[in-house]
Structure 1
């Protein structure tokens, strides 16, 4: 799984054509837990926030493939499998990033069903990574982390996909 540049990515190419229009961002967000139920977070190189591994789907891949690719690109770990537990699609999930680009998100949240490899703390997209107890997450924390972990807890309690 080779990492591609933003300019070469589907969203990068689409952004160059669409200018400042709001774009639909289809992506995956992943929760990895170790044997002690600690959660893997990455520190993003673009804004310094601690976040769950996540990113945009590319043309020619499934959303599950996207999840596995993003986990590998941002952590060096290989996902054994992924289970979807939430869909975040509401127009309230529209945001403008630090580059003044606006996106409406359609994000599938996945629980990673086992993983292998050695954790890379620094990658092209991260400045640090590690497993943390859910009650003691590092700061600054991306706002999506708490909501995603709450959705996972709801899914594990009910067995029902969380739709937002």
Structure 2
């Protein structure tokens, strides 16, 4: 399913859903960060997705990371909370989702790097390499917040 991100765009469609989601900054033992290139928009992104009923936020981040990248993780902290009502995700099925994402910090503990039906490329990057990658502004913000070491104000 194709998706388009709108961030503070006056031409963005009105949201019709609000879905809790988790994304994860996954770091390996040498300090590289795990990213996936998404099939729905072609951009590099953190692993993550919507929370399922009966699931914890940490469980969501762990499950989504494994499903999308093949990497097993443990959650070690939080990067930030991202709820900008000006950031909406428009899907080709008609859903227009207002952002509601908690970005977690995770540590790789196992697994084998692979792609999924949601990613056509997965890779580990040194933190300074991510600036050159194509990604939506909201993902770049999470990575910048992680690299700065500060926990942002609730957005």
Q: What range describes the TM-score normalised by the shorter chain of this pair?
A: 0.7 to 0.9
SS at 1:79's partner residue? strand
Q: Spell out the pairing of 1:81-160 with structure 2 (5 A cutoff).
A: 81-120=75-114, 122-137=115-130, 139-154=133-148, 156-157=149-150, 160=151
Match 2:16 to one of 22, 33, 50: 22
Instruction: State how far apart, in whole Å, the 2-side matches of 1:104 and 1:147 are.
Output: 17
Deviation at 1:110, TM superposition (A): 0.5
The answer on 1:69 being equivalent to 2:63 is yes
- Report deviation, 1:145: 2.4
When the two structures are superposed, what TM-score results if normalisation uses the length of structure 2? 0.79
5+ long unaligned stretches in structure 2: 2-13
Bigger fraction of residues in strand: 2
CA RMSD across the alignment: 2.2
| Partner of residue 163, structure 1 | 154
User: Alpha-carbon deviations, 1:36-91, whole Å to 9, x = none?
Assistant: 32211101122211111010001110111101000000111111234222011131
Q: Which residue number corresponds to residue 7 of structure 2?
A: none
Aligned CA distance change for structure 1 residues 140 and 90 (closer, same or farther; 3 Å): closer
Residues 21/86 of structure 1: CA separation in 2 closer, same or farther (3 Å cut) = closer
Paired residues for 1:38-77 under 5 Å? 38-77=32-71
Q: Which has the larger helix fraction? A: 1
**Cα distance in 1 between the residues matched to 2:126 and 2:138:** 17
Q: TM-score, normalised by structure 1?
A: 0.75
**How far apart, CA to CA, are the structure 2 residues paired with 1:152 and 1:98?**
31
**Pairwise mapping of residues 1-12 of structure 1 onto structure 2 (< 5 A)?**
none
Aligned residues: 142
The 3-state SS of whatever aligns with 1:80 is strand
Q: Which has the larger radius of gyration?
A: 1
| Higher RCO (C-alpha 8 Å, min separation 6) | 2
